[in-house]
Amino acid sequence: MSAAAFTVDVGNSSVGVAEWSAGQPLLRRTAEPEQAAALLHGDVAVVSVAPARLARLLAAAPAAARVRVLAEPPADLGESGLLRSAGSDRIAVALALRPGPAVAVDAGTAVTVELVDAQGRYRGGFIAPGPRAALAGLVAATAQLPALEVGPVPLAPGTGTRAALLAGTWGLALGGVDRLVEEALAALGAGASVRVVATGGWGEAWQRASRRSGVEYDPALVHRGIARWRDLA
DSSP assignment of the chain, as one string? ----SEEEEE-SS-EEEEEEETTEEEEEEESSHHHHHTT--EEEEEEES-HHHHHHHHHH--TTEEEEE--S--GGGS-HHHHHHS-HHHHHHHHHHTTSSEEEEEESSEEEEEEE-TTS-EEEEEEEE-HHHHHHHHHHHSSSPPP--------S--SSHHHHHHHHHHHHHHHHHHHHHHHHHHHHT-GGGSEEEEESTTHHHHHHH-S-SS-EE-TTHHHHHHHHHHHH-
9, 43, 76, 89: the active-site residue? 89
Residue 117 annotated to the active site:
no
Cα distance between residue 210 and residue 26, in whole Å: 27
Tell me the C-alpha distance between 65 and 72, whole Å.
21
Active site residue ranges: 89
